Each structure stands twice: as C-alpha cells, then as structure tokens.
Amino acid sequence: MTLDSLLIHGGTLVCMDAARTVTRGDLLVAGGRIVALGSAVPAALAALPDGRAAERFDASGSLVLPGFVHAHLHLCQTLFRGLAEHSDLLRWLREAIWPLEAAHTDASLAASVKLGACELVAGGVTCVNDMGTVHHSDALGQALAETGLRAVFGPALMDQGDRVPPRLLEGADRALASALGVADRWHGAEEGRLRVSLAPRFILSCSEGLWRDVTEASRERGLLVHTHLAESPTEGGEVKAAVGSHAAPYFAKQGVLSPRFVGAHGVWLDDDEIALFKRANAALVHCPGSNLKLGSGLADVRAWKRAGVRRGLGSDGGACNNRLDSFAEMALAAGLARVVHRDDPLNAQDIVALATCDGAEALGLAGEVGSLEAGKQADVAVVRIDRLHHAPFAERDVYTALVHAARDTDVRLTAVQGRVLYRDGTHTTLEPARCAAEAVSEARTLAQRAGFAGAAA
C-alpha cells in the first residue's frame, strides 16, 4: 500500500543516528520521507492538509528502527536452498552453484528473487545489495521493482575460470557492456529505489583486463563495485597462485579499491590488508552464517572497526546460509566477535549499527537511509519486544534485546519510502503462497536442467 502519510505512534524510537538516540515517541512519514520524530510530530501533523495522518500504526510494546540493510546477497540462489550442502567454497561453486545458475531462466530467476524477498521483507529488511547471476538481469530488476525493496544489484561478471559452465562465461568486453546496459535501464529506477552495481564475481573468474575496465567504468559512472574476496583458505591459495598475491594487495595494485568498492567476506585479511581498505575508504561486508556453514573461517570485524573500515552485514545467499534473517546474522556476528576478541568484542549497539546505519554507509546510501532522521527516506521496521522471550528487561537495553532475544517473527511492520510492504503478518506487494508454489515448481525444473535429478523428484 502506498500512503500519503503514516503515523507510527506509541513505540520506542531506536534512531541509529550519530547520537544513538533511543526515546519513546512517534514518527511521522509523508511523501515517502520521515517528516518528524518525537516532540516535533504534533506540529508536523497539524501542518498536513487535513491535520492528521492518512494512516496510523500503533507500535506500543515495540521498537521503531531503520530497516535492516543486507549488504551482500544472492537472491538468484534462493531456489538452490538445500541443494548444495556440506561443501567448502570452491567445490560448492564448481559442483553445484555455477551449474545451477547456468540453468536459470527469466521465470526461475524471478521466482527465486520473490521467494527470498518474502522472507526478507517479513524480517524487517528494507535494502539489499544483490549480486545476480550472469544473465537474466532485467528479470532480476523487474522482480525487485515488484517487491518494493530498495536494492543495489548487478549481473555477476565472469570471463574466465576453472570448471565454469560455458553459459556463464562472457568475453570481458561483452560482460562489461551487458552490465552497463543494465545500468542504463535500471540505475535510478523506481524513484531512485533501484541502483545498479558492477559485480565481478571474484579474482578467479575475472581477467586483469576485466578488472581494469570495471575500475574505469566505476569511476566514470559512479557505480559500486561489488565482489568477493578473502573468503576461504583454498580460494586464497588459488588466488595467490593465479596473480602472485592475495586479493587485497592485488586490488590495491590494480586501483580497484575505492570508496565505491564493496567486498564480501574478508575472512582472511591481515592487518596490513585491512589498512589498504582504510586508505582507500573501501567497504567490507560480514557474512557470519555463510562463513560458518561453508567452513570458511571467522572474520575479524572488530579489527575492521578498530581500523575505521566502512562495514556492513549480509546473509549471502540461501544456498550457503539457508536463511535470510538479519536477527540470526546479528546474533552470530555478536557471538563470533566475542570468540575472536573475548575481552574486547563488538557490543550489541555495534552489531545493530552493522545491520543498519553502517550497512547503509558501506553502500554509499547513508545520506538517504540507515537511521531515523527527519528528511531521510522512510525505510522503517517495527519490532515487538513484549513477548515471553524478550522479558523482563528488553526496554532496559534495546540493542541487546534486538541482537540476542528478538526474532524475525517479531517484526510487525516493514516500510520502504513510506510504502508499507508488510504489516502484522500480511504482505502488500507479494503473495507468499503464490511465491512458494512458483518457487517449488521452478526449482524442480531448474534442478532437472542442471542435472540434479534427485532434487527434481
């Protein structure tokens, strides 16, 4: 539903602004933006044409916060959930993920996106940074447009690699031209809600020439460069054998690192490599669930923060995580930070920031989203904290409640640009039963095309 104005009242505002304001109060949305918060709301309400909001939402017993930002995601892989288990990264890619991605059609890609989006929206996610597969980018853009999510997305770029299906390989010129064509059609679409990135998959699947061309195109067009690096030990070994160094020094030498660079995982970065990211003002994205499930290792996000590196939180794809759940990722991120730095971990406020304002900053969107402030886009989530699993002191420390007690089923409302996408169990842009049925049907035929005979039964 698209509303001219919306008043969210009676809740606790967790603003994630620079002051980390937490206060009981109301939030007023009009024209897709936050108009006023707290004590400023009555006057702003009176200034509306009829003196009241078109719609009201009672947030009593709930926290009102900026919507979650999933800063690294592969919605094209949601249909592969359960098909690529018990594997490490490179075998997982070569034996399962790449053959499955090569078998996508426009219809299966759209079904995969919408299945994942149902889960994301119901979990309070308002923004995603998505890497598609090589083809079907217009189907991806159209599906994202229909979900109502804010998204940065782009086709995966691949022009080389061991055991890559031929359908996923394109010449460097053609790969980049295709991506720029997607940008021409989709960058800034849906009133700016959709943006396009350049998404070279990782060093092993991209030639030096492609990296050089991507870097130049990013500079000229202002597009993000979204890729993977330093994810697993075996990947790191193959990268060093291929280019003579690990990923971060290679990217620095090639001029790839910049404020427009967003690198997923960064598990195996040492202090000198982290310093390269700080000097370039490049961003890293933590994907704890995926890193654990693939056995990739434990990223030192505390070291990223200490070095002043821009950073975000992501789930990665449904095939290496099996859930697209911000609450699960926050809890894992907090637990891993405690293990890696027992006496100086990230605290709960740091973790909520990672999933909201820090993620928005990592994607270059901090001026528009990531915090509740007047004038910003109204990307908002409402999360209840009045259930048994929150009691008795949830209000005493809202950050701890969000990270260690709350669940995705506690989300009551998700809105993007003031448009309500989910409200008390009901989706407004998607039909979950239909999305699930289409996903099951498309997944079976996709598995058949990819040669996963047992999965197609």
Q: How far apart are CA 365 and CA 357, in angstroms?
A: 9
Q: Is 271 exposed, middle or buried (0-12, 13-18, 19+ CB in 10 A)?
A: exposed
Same domain for 73 and 210, yes or no, is: yes
Same domain for 56 and 75, yes or no, is: no
**Domain assignment of residue 340, yes or no:** yes
Q: Residue 172 is inside which H or E element, if any?
A: helix 172-186
Same domain for 131 and 263, yes or no, is: yes
**Domain assignment of residue 150, yes or no:** yes
Same domain for 387 and 291, yes or no, is: no
**Domain assignment of residue 339, yes or no:** yes
Same domain for 200 and 241, yes or no, is: yes
Same domain for 296 and 405, yes or no, is: no
Output the six-digit token pair for 263: 């690198």
Q: Which residue has the tokens 């989530």?
A: 381
Output the six-digit token pair for 54: 């078109």
Last residue of a domain, one of 316, 336, 362: 362
Q: How far apart are CA 404 and CA 389, in angstroms?
A: 10
Helix, strand, coil: what percent of the chain each, to 5? 45, 20, 35
What stretches of 49-153 show up as alpha helix (H) in DSSP?
A: 89-92, 98-102, 106-122, 137-147
Parallel, antiparallel, or unpaired: how do β-strands 5-14 and 22-30 relate? Answer: antiparallel
**What does DSSP assign to residue 454?**
G
- Residue ranges making up the domain that contains 408: 5-66+374-427
Output the six-digit token pair for 249: 């020094």
**Domain assignment of residue 246, yes or no:** yes
Q: How far apart are CA 326 and CA 58, in angstroms?
A: 23
Look at phi and psi of residue 20 and say left if phi exceeds 0, alpha if psi is from -120 to 50, else beta. Answer: left
Per-residue pLDDT of the chain (457 residues; tens, 9 = 90+): 445 899 999 999 999 999 999 999 999 999 999 999 999 999 999 999 888 899 999 999 999 999 999 999 999 999 999 998 988 999 999 999 999 999 999 999 999 999 999 999 999 999 999 999 999 999 999 999 999 999 999 999 999 999 999 999 999 999 999 999 999 999 999 999 999 999 999 999 999 999 999 999 999 999 999 999 999 999 999 999 999 999 999 999 999 999 999 999 999 999 999 999 999 999 999 999 999 999 999 999 999 999 999 999 999 999 999 999 999 999 999 999 999 999 999 999 999 999 999 999 999 999 999 999 999 999 999 999 999 999 999 999 999 999 999 999 999 999 999 999 999 999 999 999 999 999 999 999 999 999 986 554 4
Cβ density class 236-254: b for 16+ within 10 Å, e for less? beebeeebeebbbbbbbee
**Any idea how long the chain is?**
457
**Domain assignment of residue 176, yes or no:** yes
**Domain assignment of residue 250, yes or no:** yes
**Domain assignment of residue 368, yes or no:** no
Select from 181, 204, 6 the least CA-distant residue to 98.
204
What per-residue confidence (pLDDT) applies to 453?
62
Same domain for 62 and 75, yes or no, is: no
What per-residue confidence (pLDDT) applies to 90?
96
For residue 403, give the amino acid letter: V
Q: Is 39 exposed, middle or buried (0-12, 13-18, 19+ CB in 10 A)?
A: exposed
Question: CA dihedral defined by 394, 398, 402, 407, rounded to 10 degrees?
Answer: 40
CATH number at residue 24: 2.30.40.10
**Domain assignment of residue 449, yes or no:** no
CATH number at residue 296: 3.20.20.140
Is-contact 380 65, C-beta < 8 A? yes
Output the six-digit token pair for 341: 């730095």
Select from 292, 256, 286, 315 the least CA-distant residue to 123.
315
Same domain for 114 and 124, yes or no, is: yes
Give the 3-state secondary structure of residue 292: helix
Is-contact 60 11, C-beta < 8 A? yes
Q: How far apart are CA 368 and CA 188, in angstroms?
A: 14
Q: How far apart are CA 201 and CA 149, in angstroms?
A: 23
Q: Which residues contact 120 (CB under 8 A, 6 or more apart)?
A: 70, 128, 149, 324
Q: How far apart are CA 146 and CA 452, in angstroms?
A: 30
Q: How far apart are CA 208 and CA 211, in angstroms?
A: 5
Is-contact 222 260, C-beta < 8 A? yes
Q: How far apart are CA 254 and CA 242, in angstroms?
A: 15
Nearest 5°: the CA angle 214, 215, 218 is 80
Same domain for 249 and 273, yes or no, is: yes
Same domain for 102 and 80, yes or no, is: yes
CA distances from 45 to 8, 53, 83, 256, 269 (A): 12, 7, 52, 48, 50
What per-residue confidence (pLDDT) applies to 1?
41
Same domain for 239 and 305, yes or no, is: yes
Q: Which residue has the tokens 């950073």?
A: 311
Beta bridge partners of 413: 382, 423
Same domain for 420 and 282, yes or no, is: no
Output the six-digit token pair for 412: 């009551």
Q: How far apart are CA 109 and CA 170, in angstroms?
A: 19
Tally the domains of the chain. Answer: 2
Q: Is 79 exposed, middle or buried (0-12, 13-18, 19+ CB in 10 A)?
A: buried
pTM (predicted TM-score): 0.97
Q: How far apart are CA 229 and CA 288, in angstroms?
A: 14
